[in-house]
Amino acid sequence: MQMKSLVILFFSIGLFQHIKAQEPVDYVNPFIGSDNYGTTNPGAIVPRGMISAVPFNVSGRPNKHEKDSDWWSTPYSSANETLTGFSHVNLSGVGCPDLGTIILMPTTGDLKISSGEYASTYSHEEASPGYYSNYLNRYDVKAEVTTSVRSAINRYTFPKGRANILLNLGLGLTNEQDGYLRIKSDNEVEGFRTVGSFCYNNPDEIYPVYFVIKVNKSADKYGAWKKPPLYHGAEANWMSYNGQTRLLNEYTKPLVGDSLGAFFSFDFKEPTQVEVLIGISYVSIENARENLEQEITNKCFDDLRAEARALWNDKLSRVKITGGTSDEKTMFYSALYHAQIHPNTLNDVNGEYPTIGSGNIGKTDGTRYTVFSLWDTYRNMHQLTSLLYPKEQLGMVNSMLDMYKENGWLPKWELNSTETFTMVGDPAAIVIADTYMRGITGFDTELALEAMLKSATQEKDNPLRPELSDYLSYSYIPVQEKYDGSVSTTLEYGAADFAIAQMAKSLGHKNIYTDFTKRSQYYKNMYDSELGVMRPRLDNGQWHTPFSPLDGANFESVTGFIEGTSWHYSFMIPYDVKGLIKLNGGKKSFVNKLQSVFDNGLYEPDNEPDMGYAFLFNYVKGEEWRTQKEVNKIIDHDYSNSPGGLPGNDDTGTMSAWLVFAMMGIYPDAPAIPHYTICSPRFDLVEIRLDEEIYSGETFRIEAIRTNTKAQEINKMELNGKALNNYFISHDDVINGGTLKIWLK
């Protein structure tokens, strides 16, 4: 694998960046995060794309009772060497398996329909935004993929002789295999494959993804399979039905069941390129066909690849950087690239999409977004979207409000109009309030407040805050016998309550502001002053025992905390750092304790609750240098230009958004407080191109003046020519345009 990694880096970034690397898109290395549990992939996708064409080189998870280490939550890992095709509905940077299906595979020679029989090693990988290719060693085939928003083109360069294109619907990341297909002609197949049950939290949420596939050449032979039978040519229109064999034409029932597949075979007299077009939809086969026809019909592979590159370059060009090393530029633009994948498009070209919780079909004039991993993304990714792509952020808020109108609740962890109920808290309220506080107000604010208040006040049958009754009764959540994340959930509810209070105040609802500000202080009831950390407690007020602040390390199950230890949560109060400092015995004690988290290896850069810790030193005058030191250590130690270059699961762009902000030199440390705290920029100049239709400014510049190339400690700062004596700037300071100058020594 060491040699393979060198090939990856050589072909994808190394040589070509030295030659041209003149545009942001040229710096992106899509392989970053494809190892070290980053769960990103190098497949082809456009910004916010519904479809992605990804090399599938993992084994699916056939049984939900297997141990967690057997899960593959990604279709691709750079540590693997054997390919079984290209999947076309995928997730990026998630911690649970789902999708990873509708898999196409080119082969040569005799037809084989089992993935274990036709799998191939591969080499010569190349990836850039909107494009991926490799060489299938077993078959002497070059495979390439590129995409539009809802459609993709696979291009296979076959050698002379027998060639096959397989569609395997039985392969995927989860144990759902049900589907149907029918072969329309010697170059076209349509159907659907069921997917769903993300994290197996809601196994009833199974739904279809529809497809239409067209090959640009007529097959010499074609057919379908339903294990074990195999149907050739005209036989592909026959199936077993109630013990009898029935002839099916293109307008009657297709082949249905588990482990379905189809094939098109060719006898080439010379080496031949074949293009396979695929459109998908979550509504219907007819919509999948329309998506294909509207987006890629009459376009060749190279045209679509060029369009995808142009789309990416436009998105990435919202930030222009000068200075820094080549690796730093690649890390930065690759992170910005990953932050533009999710949330992604759900609606078809005609505006139709499946509504949440009802099975009905809705329609939008804009974009219906999906994949809201909100427990992760509320901390920084949506703030990045608000800053760089405010129209997209507005569309995401409107999508969340549409979900509320459809099923009566805001989303928690929504995926393709299903609610997975993954993780804890009430994060949608935080995202909506933060968006509003940053000046993006073009949504129904009273409806939003209504939705936020419902989840924050309805005690019975509340899927977003199931522990709300205890939270209100005890002013904290006591330890529970069954699923217990009592401390984590209390702190998350407090963060949401604070966000609701800020938006309510801005809208003139003083009573709501007062009530929810009081509720946001409940975190103090979880603080054990003797141990100096957050600690679970019982319903009688006594502390839970036995207890250690180190319990829960390595994501082990522990009473009181979700995915972490007490140390990962004890400073997770960014909205009330002054109160947190007082709770911890004053500034000196606070700084010493916080520094000990880093010095003793208790900080986890891949864990959301503590990801803002390094910026908290900025709240203590004279200690800001610690923020600069720790942020730079995290960048240097936990991020790199390599497949393992993320500190862990990217969490749909959250880890990447952290890096984008940290390398620019500003970070949105407190959701629903529209400011940024300052750290050392990695570049000599950062130019943020603002959306002038939303914001009043044109460009915000962050300029670093260094005494030497390795200077990282801030000496002094100026904002628009005036001395800046603290380490915070408002969101308005940024969106009005101007220049932040930072002198580094």
Question: Based on the domain organization, do 305 and 323 belong to the same domain?
Answer: no
Of the two residues 230 and 431, the one the predictor is more confident about is 431
- 201: pLDDT confidence band, cut at 50, 70 and 90? low
Q: Do 189 and 332 share a structural domain?
A: no
Which pLDDT belongs to residue 20?
A: 54
- Report how far residue 238's alpha carbon sits from residue 260's, in angstroms, rounded to the nearest whole number: 14
pLDDT mean over 629-646: 98
Q: Which residue has better confidence, 404 or 67?
A: 404
Q: Are residues 360 and 506 in the same domain?
A: yes
Res 681 pLDDT > 50: yes
Q: What is the pTM of this model?
A: 0.94
Alpha carbon 412 to chain centroid, angstroms: 14
| Residues facing residue 278 across a β-bridge | 152, 213
Q: How many CB atoms lie within 10 A of CB 465?
A: 25
Both 309 and 322 in one domain: the answer is no
Residue with more model confidence, 256 or 594: 594
Indicate the helix (H) or strand (E) that contains 657. helix 654-664
Residue 375 sits in the same domain as residue 456: yes
The residue type at 536? P
What b/e string do you get for 567-581 counting C-beta neighbours within 10 Å, with b at 16 or more?
A: bbbbbbbbbbbeebb
Higher pLDDT, 253 or 722: 722
The 3-state DSSP class for residue 552 equals coil
Kindly indicate the confidence band of residue 619, based on its pLDDT and cuts at 50, 70 and 90. Answer: very high
Res 142: pLDDT: 98
Confidence check: pLDDT of 299 > 50 = yes
Three-class SS of 236-260 = HHEEEECCEEEECCCCCCCEEEECE
The tens digit of pLDDT for each residue in 150-168 reads 999 999 999 999 999 999 9
Residue 244 has pLDDT above 80, yes or no: no
Tell me the range of 225-229, 464-468, 483-487 where mean pLDDT is highest. Answer: 464-468
DSSP codes, 152-191: EEEEEEE-SEEEEEEEETT-SSSS--EEEEEEEETTEEEE
346 shares its domain with 234: no
Q: pLDDT per residue over 65-110, tens digit each?
A: 334 444 578 999 999 999 999 999 999 999 998 999 999 999 999 9
Give the 3-state secondary structure percentages of the chain, helix then strand then coil, rounded to 5: 35, 25, 40
Please report, for the domain that includes residue 267, its CATH number.
2.70.98.10
Do 363 and 261 share a structural domain?
no
55 secondary structure, DSSP code = E
**Rounded CA gap, 367 and 348, in Å?**
9
Local confidence band at 174 (pLDDT 50, 70, 90 cut-offs):
confident
Give the model's pLDDT for residue 245.
Answer: 33
Contact 86, 53 (CB under 8 A): yes
Alpha-carbon distance of 672 to 262, in angstroms, equals 51
CA distance 586 to 417: 47
Per-residue pLDDT tens digits for 557-607: 899 999 999 999 999 999 999 999 999 999 999 999 999 999 999 999 999
Are 348 and 308 part of one and the same domain?
no
Both structure tokens of 78? 């750079």
CATH code assigned at 734:
3.30.2080.10
Q: Are residues 292 and 344 in the same domain?
A: no
Q: Are 191 and 257 in contact (CB under 8 A)?
A: no
Confidence label for 228 from pLDDT (cuts 50, 70 and 90): low
Question: pLDDT per residue over 513-554, tens digit each?
Answer: 999 999 999 999 999 999 999 999 999 999 999 999 999 988
Q: Which residue has tokens 């880093």? A: 598
Contacts of 257 by beta carbon, 8 Å cutoff, 6+ apart? 178, 179, 180, 226
> What's the pLDDT score for residue 203?
63
152 and 30 in one domain?
yes
Question: What single-letter DSSP state applies at residue 12?
Answer: I
Whether residue 215 contacts residue 276, with contact meaning beta carbons closer than 8 Å, is answered with yes
Report which of residues 415 and 59 the model is more confident about: 415
Is the confidence at residue 9, as pLDDT, over 70?
Answer: no
- The pairing of beta strand 178-185 with beta strand 188-196: antiparallel
Cβ-Cβ contacts under 8 Å for 744 (sequence gap 6 or more): 680, 704, 705, 706, 707, 711, 712, 713, 714, 715
Residue 14 confidence (pLDDT) above 60: no
> Domain check: are 308 and 334 in the same one?
no
Last residue of a domain, one of 292, 314, 336: 314
Residues 641-658: pLDDT tens digits?
999 999 999 999 999 999
pLDDT, greater one: 178 or 523? 523
Q: Which residues are bridge partners to 101 per DSSP?
A: 89
Q: How confident is the model at residue 64 (pLDDT cuts 50, 70, 90)?
A: very low
Question: Which strands, in side-by-side order, build the sheet including 54-55?
Answer: 54-55, 86-87, 103-108, 161-168, 260-268, 221-226, 230-232
What per-residue confidence (pLDDT) applies to 241? 31
Q: Which of 293, 314, 335 is the last residue of a domain?
A: 314
Domain residues for the domain of 31 are 2-314
Residue 580 to residue 246: CA distance in whole angstroms: 72
Kindly report the average pLDDT of the chain as a whole number.
92
pLDDT of 253 > 50? The answer is no
Q: Report, in angstroms and rounded to the nearest whole number, the Rg of the chain calculated over CA atoms.
A: 26
Q: How many domains does the chain have?
A: 2
My answer on whether 284 and 392 are in the same domain is no
> Which residue, of 269, 293, 314, is where some domain finishes?
314
Give the pLDDT band of residue 198 (cuts 50, 70, 90).
confident
User: Which of 308, 369, 295 has its CA nearest to residue 45?
Assistant: 308
| Contact between 686 and 702 (Cβ < 8 Å) | yes
Indicate the pLDDT class of residue 63, thresholds 50, 70 and 90.
very low
pLDDT score recorded for residue 66: 38
pLDDT of residue 305: 98
